């Protein structure tokens, strides 16, 4: 003979208690089902909160723009100490500014090459960590932490302007 069951849902939790129509289930079974339902509710709620947190931390990633691809190649070459690949991402008439200076501290690919060859890529522990990146059209703004330049890490914000697939100008802002 088949037993006749009903399910009573409570409005507050969305969980319910299974009862036999003619008589309530054994109290231990009823408690077990109630605990199982609440545990399931907790697991689902926690999972949804974790998914929401991950989505907030990493919004839908869009494909890299051409400007961002150039700047990323430059950062990868910097970290690999690959001078040739690094310099290849810059235009021949690149201008580099160290804010608050209003005139470039470096002008042209030749000066950039000499500086990075002699003053940066000669440092064996030199490495930049990308902390945050913003892209607005052909402008890429990176917040970087540079290691191996000094005894302590150096935080910098670097703004790049990319034109015709090459970095045209750079503004360096160092933490004081």
Q: How confident is the model at residue 175 (pLDDT cuts 50, 70, 90)?
A: confident
Residue 62 or 58, more confident: 62
- N-to-C CA span, the chain: 82
Q: How confident is the model at residue 46 (pLDDT cuts 50, 70, 90)?
A: very low
Residues of the chain within CATH 3.10.450.50 domain(s) are: 66-174
Three-class DSSP category at 92: strand
- Is the pLDDT confidence value at 47 over 50? no
Output the CA torsion sign for 43, 44, 50, 51: positive
Q: What is the model's pTM?
A: 0.66
Output the CA torsion sign for 79, 85, 90, 93: positive
**Stretch 114-129: mean pLDDT:** 97
- Is the pLDDT confidence value at 7 over 70? no
What class is the 66-174 domain?
alpha beta
Q: How confident is the model at residue 62 (pLDDT cuts 50, 70, 90)?
A: confident
Three-class DSSP category at 59: coil
């Amino acid at each position: 003979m088949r037993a006749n069951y009903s399910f009573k849902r409570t409005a507050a939790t969305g969980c319910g208690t299974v009862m036999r129509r003619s008589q309530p289930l054994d109290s231990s079974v009823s408690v077990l089902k109630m605990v199982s339902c609440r545990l399931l509710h907790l697991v689902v709620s926690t999972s949804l909160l974790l998914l929401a947190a991950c989505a907030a931390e990493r919004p839908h990633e869009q494909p890299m723009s051409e400007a961002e691809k150039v700047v990323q190649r430059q950062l990868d070459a910097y970290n690999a100490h690959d001078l040739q690949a690094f310099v290849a991402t810059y235009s021949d008439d690149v201008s580099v500014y160290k804010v608050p200076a209003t005139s470039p501290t470096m002008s042209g690919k030749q000066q950039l090459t000499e500086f990075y060859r002699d003053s940066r890529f000669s440092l064996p522990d030199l490495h930049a960590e990308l902390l945050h990146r913003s892209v607005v059209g052909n402008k890429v703004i990176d917040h970087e932490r540079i290691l191996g330049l000094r005894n302590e890490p150096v935080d910098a914000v670097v703004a790049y302007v990319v034109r015709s697939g090459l970095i045209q100008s750079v503004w360096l802002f160092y933490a004081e």
